[in-house]
Structure 1
Amino acid sequence: MAEKRKVCVLGATGVGKTSLVARFARSIFSESYLTTIGVTIETRRVRCDDRELDLLLWDLSGEDEFQDVQISYVRGAAGLLLVIDGTRRFTVETGLRLHAAARATAGELPSVVALNKADLTAAWEIDEAAEARLRRAGLLVTRTSAKTGAGVEGAFSALARAMLGSDAPLWRG
């Protein structure tokens, strides 16, 4: 029987949270997605060493000038995937603010940053200083592309391994 772990996917509006979750959970990518309202949930079973985990992926609506993320959804989470758009520098600040709010609600949780849209290198705005700032905040930083699939498995695998190495709670639903 696989253990269940709740993972919350957080980030600004339009960073690619839904695209990353769809790529990871269903191996699909679409150029057109509707904006997530509230939360959508996907699942995927992963194997880490000799253990199986059912990841319950809570894709939370993005934060923008009109809407705040419902941080209450973070309760009961075992880990966080923080998505930042590599082509929009300001999403780093939004991501760090959401991470701090999630920690205030749920405590210290294993967290991985997915610097998404790595396929758009010509438009990349995140520099080494921004990446170093994320690492100083205690975050594991990865580069992903939901479009090509590059780095997606690695980001979720890193989070699963971090959750197994912590006292992150099992999801009891």
Structure 2
Amino acid sequence: MMQKKVCLLGASGVGKTSLIKQYVEGIFSEKYLTSIGVKIDKKQVETKSGQVKLMIWDIEGIDRYCGFQPKYLRGASAYIIVSDQTRSQSLLEGVEIQKMIKEVTDIPGLLAINKSDLPEAWHWSQKELEDIQSGYEKTFHTSAKTGENVENMFTHLAQIIAE
């Protein structure tokens, strides 16, 4: 069985920890706890290429004040940038984070537009969204609360890195 490191990155409060909890444990909590540093969870996934153990790194929220730590990406096979559809700024921050990632590695990445169970608060044109999404392997509209697309997103990512 192969073991692969995956990093979840994004602004503070976008739901990175909640997505992981939903995926690994099948639970959601309304309680918000700020992640400090890194927390690692594991989950085995069956892919067409065989079993993959995902080592999922939940990396603290990245904002203008704490910056991006490229060292967290060492040894990673893929990443997911999480944004919050109720905060347009989080998508812009995701764009900045992706630019910084691309400066240090060329591993595949997914975009998770999280909190799809809540009303969308941004008003991007279709062209603007397509431009933002073009740098990713795929975009998933997820909800850590309802579980929408969470399993699909991680399974898709496991399949990409297993090949």
TM-score, shorter chain, exceeding 0.5: yes
Distance 1:130 1:84, change over 3 A: farther
Q: Mean Cα displacement is larger for which, 10-19 or 123-132?
A: 123-132
The Cα shift of 1:64 comes to: 2.1
Q: Mapping of 1:94-173 within 5 angstroms?
A: 94-105=93-104, 107-120=105-118, 122-125=119-122, 127=124, 128-165=126-163
Structure 1 gap ranges (5+): 166-173
Distance 1:78 1:50, change over 3 A: closer
Alignment-mate amino acid for residue 86 of structure 1: Q
Does the CA-based 8 Å contact 1:17-1:59 persist in structure 2? Answer: yes
The Cα shift of 1:102 comes to: 1.8
Displaced runs of 4+ in structure 1, greater than 4 A?
A: none
Separation in structure 2 between the aligned mates of residue 124 and residue 99 of structure 1, nearest angstrom: 22
The Cα shift of 1:30 comes to: 0.4
SS for the counterpart of 1:78 is strand
Does the CA-based 8 Å contact 2:49-2:159 persist in structure 1? Answer: no
Q: Mean Cα displacement is larger for which, 61-70 or 38-47?
A: 61-70
The Cα shift of 1:137 comes to: 1.9
Structure 2 gap ranges (5+): none
- The count of corresponding residues between Structure 1 and Structure 2 is 162
SS for the counterpart of 2:76 is coil
Q: TM-score, normalising length from structure 2?
A: 0.92
- C-alpha root-mean-square deviation of aligned residues, in Å? 1.5
Separation in structure 2 between the aligned mates of residue 62 and residue 126 of structure 1, nearest angstrom: 24
Alignment-mate amino acid for residue 36 of structure 1: S
Q: Mapping of 1:1-173 within 5 angstroms?
A: 2-105=1-104, 107-120=105-118, 122-125=119-122, 127=124, 128-165=126-163
- Percent sequence identity over matched residues? 35
The Cα shift of 1:130 comes to: 3.9
